[in-house]
Structure formats: structure tokens, C-alpha cells
Amino acid sequence: MPISFRFLPDLPPVGPDWNNLLALLTAIFSLDDQAQAAELRYQQARSPVQVWLAESEGKLVGCKLGYERKPGHYYSWLGGVEPAFRGQGTAAELMRQQHAWCQQWGYQRIRTQTYNQWRGMLLLNLRVGFDIVGTMQGAHGLVIVLEKELAAPETAEAQSYATKK
């Protein structure tokens, strides 16, 4: 089944995209949908959340969400792929698109965090150039903190997403 990709510059409003995104994240992370919705809204109120979507035959099968941590630094926040669509490069393509967008907008670093239980994501992060920069205790165990330095943007006028808005 072919997979198509879409970018949303902000979290979608309540409607089909919102409902599908919420359902996917709730299933992947085994969270209560109201708690997940509240977390998404909270973060969107703090800083615009960009969303990359992967769809197959009109069904949302993967996503990658992130936001600006501070000027020049981006946080790759949430993401995942439905189990039936894993192992096909979907997560890697979502990550590639997110990193290309970050580079285009002048970000120099991307940070992410994961738990050891998400080994597939940990290994993917390491394969694409992230370094483990620390650990901390999280709500569900040890959190692994990773960072990746991005190459300089191709255009001199590139600047952070927040300053262009």
C-alpha cells in the first residue's frame, strides 16, 4: 500500500485530522484520549506544533510532531507509526521531512527524548545521527535524551520559524 505524506504548520482544529491524530497517538502511547488532547492543546498554546502525517488509502498510519524549544533549537516531540505499517521506512521518512523542514527554517539542533521501551525509535535516532546527551528519570522510567546537529541552512536568509511568523 503506498504511503503519502502531508505537512501541517499547526495542530489541526477539531475535525477529521484532529480526531485521527488523537486516535493514533492514543493507540501508540496507550494514553487516555482526553489526557492526550489536553497535552496537545497545552503545548500548542506554548509554541506552534508542526505536524507531519503519513497516510495510506486515506487512513492515518503515522505522524511526527515538533516545536521550537528556543531560537535555533527544535524539539521533535511525539511520533509513531501503526504496528502494521512499521518496518517500511515510514518513521524514517517522517523524520527526514521534519529535519529537512528544520534545516530550511534555520534550526541548528534537534532534541528528542525516548524511553528504552521504544527501541525502534531509539535505534532510528542513532542511525540518523543523534547522539545520546543525557538521561533523566521520567514518569515511566529512565528517559534517554538525544540531540542532533543540523548542517547550516542552504540560504542566508533562513531564520527560525517563530521569527518569520
pLDDT band at 161 (very low <50, low <70, confident <90, very high): very low
Q: Strands of 50-56's sheet, edge to edge?
A: 4-8, 50-56, 59-70, 73-81, 109-115, 141-149, 131-138
- pLDDT at residue 160 tops 60: no
A 10 A CB-CB count for 14 gives 9
What is the set of domains in the chain, with CATH numbers? Answer: 4-164 (3.40.630.30)
Q: What is the pLDDT of residues 49-103, one digit of tens each?
A: 999 999 999 999 999 999 999 999 999 999 999 999 999 999 999 999 999 999 9
Q: What is the pLDDT of residues 105-146, one digit of tens each?
A: 999 999 999 998 888 899 999 999 999 999 999 888 899 999
Q: Stretch 18-44: mean pLDDT, rounded? A: 90
- pLDDT at residue 162 tops 60: no
Q: Stretch 5-31: mean pLDDT, rounded? A: 92
- pLDDT at residue 163 tops 50: no
pLDDT band at 30 (very low <50, low <70, confident <90, very high): confident
Give the burial string for 77-98 (b: 16+ CB within 10 Å, else e). bbbbbbeebeebebbebbbebb
CB proximity list for 20: less than 8 A, separation 6 or greater:
59, 60
